[in-house]
């Protein structure tokens, strides 16, 4: 057991040697910190996308909560935060194990967000029924009318793939 010095010249200080039972711990550089950062970022984006994507469906006169917009908003916030936390936990666990798996998960989430995000395909003006359909929907369609409103446009949303219709 020989003590060595760390530093340059007069600024060097003696360092205690490793005891035979001690081993130098090899630390993976920044894996835990970067996994946590990635998890927080992807989880926050997921919560935002879920909030914006489900808002037209849950806070809707024709939706499951009808006139009770406050209850729909509460359910929306609960679902968004829950989805964000679950995705953050999954990303954190996967980021510590596999970079390729993490990239595949984030790419899959991005593809899901593009396909499942509601897109406006038709709008009906308030009392005069003149639909101006812009796209056809291959998926789930639902009508949205804002609660607590007397004169607004009814909007038809598509969750799935939409294709533009020809003019005319």
Per-residue pLDDT band at 110 (split at 50, 70, 90): very high
Within a domain: residue 10?
A: no
Q: What is the pLDDT of residue 86?
A: 96
Number of domains in the chain: 1
Within a domain: residue 4?
A: no
CA distances to 41, 96, 143, 157 from 60, in Å: 29, 41, 8, 12
Within a domain: residue 93?
A: yes
Distance between CA 86 and CA 47 in Å, rounded? Answer: 10
The C-alpha angle with vertex 151 and arms to 134 and 49, in degrees rounded to 5, equals: 55
Within a domain: residue 150?
A: yes
* Domain hosting residue 110, numbered range: 31-164
Within a domain: residue 82?
A: yes
Within a domain: residue 17?
A: no
pTM higher than the cut 0.75? no
Q: What is the pLDDT of residue 5?
A: 54
Per-residue pLDDT band at 21 (split at 50, 70, 90): low
Within a domain: residue 25?
A: no
């Amino acid at each position: 057991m020989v003590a060595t010095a760390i530093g340059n010249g007069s600024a060097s200080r003696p360092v205690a040697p490793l005891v035979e039972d001690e081993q130098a711990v090899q630390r993976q550089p920044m894996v835990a910190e970067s996994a946590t950062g990635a998890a927080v970022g992807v989880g926050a984006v997921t919560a935002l996308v879920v909030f914006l994507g489900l808002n037209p469906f849950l806070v809707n006169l024709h939706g499951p909560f009808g006139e009770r917009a406050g209850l729909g908003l509460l359910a929306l916030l609960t679902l968004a935060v829950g989805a964000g936390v679950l995705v953050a936990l999954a990303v954190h666990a996967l980021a510590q194990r596999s970079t390729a798996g993490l990239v595949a998960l984030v790419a899959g989430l991005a593809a899901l967000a593009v396909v499942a995000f509601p897109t406006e395909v038709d709008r009906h003006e308030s009392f005069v029924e003149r639909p101006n359909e812009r796209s056809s929907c291959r998926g789930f369609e639902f009508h949205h009318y804002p609660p607590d409103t007397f004169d607004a446009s009814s909007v038809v949303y598509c969750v799935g793939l939409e294709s533009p219709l020809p003019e005319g």
